[in-house]
Amino acid sequence: MIAVGFDGNTVDAAPLDELRALAPGAIVLFGRNVGAPAALHALIAELRALETPAPLIAVDQEGGRVARIGDPVAQLPAAMAVGAARDVDACERLGTLLGRDLARIGISVDFAPVADLALDPANTVIGTRAYGSDPLLVARLAGAFARGLETGGVAATLKHFPGHGSTAVDSHVALPHVALDEATLRARDLLPFAAAISADAAQIVMVAHVVIEALDPQRPASLSPRILTGVLRDELGFSGVTCTDCLQMDAIARTPGTVAGAVAALAAGADLLLVSHSPALAREAAGAIAAAVDAGTLPRERLLEAARRVRVLRERYATPQPYGGALDADLPLAIAQRAVTVVRGALRLHDGRAVTVLSFEGGGAGGADDVRSERPSLSAALRARRWRSEIMRVALDPDDDDVELLLSHLPALGERNFVVVTRRAHLHPKQRAAVERILDVIPAAAVISAAEPYDALLWPRAQTVACIYGDDALALAACADVLSGRATAHGSLPVVPDAS
């Protein structure tokens, strides 16, 4: 009933003896475990051979900025880009493509899709990982992607139940509270989960470390019998495996602690307990669970029920069965192109002119644990399409002196295409002011929002504004295709930005 992560990206570097002794129900792979394709294949084969039936091999492979594995797995656009494209059938086919590629290398569980809503502009932990803010749209797309993953050959996971989109607090660093009234929560945040569960779209539900005050003001959902058992099981009728988000996240690790949290989560109704970074801590949690059963504070029936659910899933995926039908490998790029959303103007470069890309970046919209060794750029994507292009990188919150230096340099560049790539300027006041000053000097500069689309209405006098929902290579390639006339933008905003 424990899912554990470890360090090492080769068979020799992995703690196989320690994992064999722990006998976890699942093993979670991260970017730190992903080396060359051949090494990854060999490592997964060894992990699957640790026990019979094989432990579940799980990964967070959502698309966009959360993608632990690169080649040979298809890279997908962010969920919010899929939401902008608004094609439910294509979303399901994306899931099948990804599921097939994961199953081919021995992965049995994908911790996707995200069924949270993008409701708070300050929420960057979810952000473009959500399909949008409309619960009906998110319900259709999350359900479709889950079905696609299962068709492809892996178990899908709805997350983060009962919703992480209404709070800007990141549960990796603190315990968020959602203070919604229960009627709003059920009609909005819970709706995508309820719809997917009703359609039997996914075999796993991941529960968030978020206090939902209307349901249980005392405990996070991941430790709450009211939510894990009362709402998820009894009300919504979910019969699959419930798993916690990582119990080493600070929302739990600080209080009550990872080990005590594992016992409490199991008692509340969780079946699979995620300890993503420490086999030693996972072993300590296993000992605490056994001690609680021996002491009578954790019912043995609850232990056996959880073990049975996890074992059923392990037996089902003991032998990989990837989808064998025909799939379109070009679909991810096609969806990313269609997702590009032109809010104002015409997103088209002037032929014959060089391009200067002014890119605000730092931590940017990318994740720290993904497959990129270096940040891709719109300029590089344009050069790959035979445009003369240069990039000028600017801090997310640039100093006044840096902005002055930049502005003094721009007029000397002469007639050319200028493209400004913003990243969450709505949360970075200095970036917002810098873009305003760039538009003073270059009024025709196109503004591209490369994260959530909340930047779209910040500069009403910008002649061209577009949103691409990510700064990964796929999103930037799609943007370059639209700018250069190779593709047409058809996206519509999946969230409603605020002009303030």
Q: Do domains 2-316 and 340-483 have the same CATH topology?
A: no
Domain assignments of the chain as residue spans, ordered by start: 2-316, 340-483
Distance CA 167, CA 80 (A): 18
Res. 500 pLDDT band, cuts 50 70 90: low
Res. 284 pLDDT band, cuts 50 70 90: very high
Per-residue pLDDT reduced to its tens digit, 115-170: 999 999 999 999 999 999 999 999 999 999 999 999 999 999 999 999 999 998 98
Distance CA 455, CA 434 (A): 13
Per-residue pLDDT reduced to its tens digit, 355-394: 999 999 974 333 333 333 468 999 999 999 999 999 999 9
What is the token pair recorded at 220? 């996070």
Res. 496 pLDDT band, cuts 50 70 90: confident
Burial (CB < 10 A; 0-12, 13-18, 19+), residue 411, is exposed
Match 């698309």 to its residue by tokens. Answer: 63
Task: Quickly list H helices, 108-235.
Answer: 135-152, 182-184, 191-198, 225
Angle at 184 between CA 222 and CA 123, to 5 degrees: 60
Q: Containing H/E element for 281?
A: helix 279-295
What is the token pair recorded at 84? 């902008």
What is the token pair recorded at 341? 């959303």
> 429-441 and 400-409 helices cross at what angle (nearest 10)?
20
Match 């007639």 to its residue by tokens. Answer: 415
pLDDT at 374: 63
From the list 41, 120, 170, 172, the catalytic residue is: 172
Match 């949690």 to its residue by tokens. Answer: 285
Per-residue pLDDT reduced to its tens digit, 390-442: 999 999 999 999 999 999 999 999 999 999 999 999 999 999 999 999 999 99
Q: 76-96 burial string, b = 16+ CB within 10 Å, else e?
A: bbbbbbbbbbbbeebbbbbbb
Per-residue pLDDT reduced to its tens digit, 35-57: 999 999 999 999 999 999 999 99
Region of 86 on the Ramachandran plot (φ > 0 left; ψ -120 to 50 alpha; else beta): left
For residue 283, the SS3 value is helix
Q: What is the mean pLDDT of residues 80-99?
A: 98
pLDDT of 484 above 90? yes
User: Which pairing describes strands 355-360 and 417-422: parallel, antiparallel, or unpaired?
Assistant: parallel
pLDDT at 368: 32
Distance CA 196, CA 88 (A): 14
pLDDT of 97 above 70? yes
Distance CA 215, CA 223 (A): 12
Per-residue pLDDT reduced to its tens digit, 287-346: 999 999 999 999 999 999 999 999 999 999 999 999 999 999 999 999 999 999 999 999
Distance CA 490, CA 231 (A): 39
pLDDT at 362: 74
Distance CA 148, CA 37 (A): 24
Note if 172 is an active site residue: yes
Res. 499 pLDDT band, cuts 50 70 90: low
User: DSSP class of residue 342?
Assistant: E
The superfamily in CATH containing domain 2-316 is Glycoside hydrolase, family 3, N-terminal domain (3.20.20.300)
Instruction: Tell me the percentage of the chain whose pLDDT exceeds 90.
Output: 95
pLDDT at 369: 36
Res. 473 pLDDT band, cuts 50 70 90: very high
For residue 436, the SS3 value is helix
From the list 60, 245, 271, 481, the catalytic residue is: 245
CATH class label, 340-483: alpha beta
pLDDT at 367: 33
User: What residues contact 320, with CB distance under 8 A and at least 6 apart?
Assistant: 103, 104, 106, 108, 153
Listed range (225-229, 361-365, 478-482) with the worst mean pLDDT: 361-365
User: Which pairing describes strands 56-59 and 464-467: parallel, antiparallel, or unpaired?
Assistant: unpaired
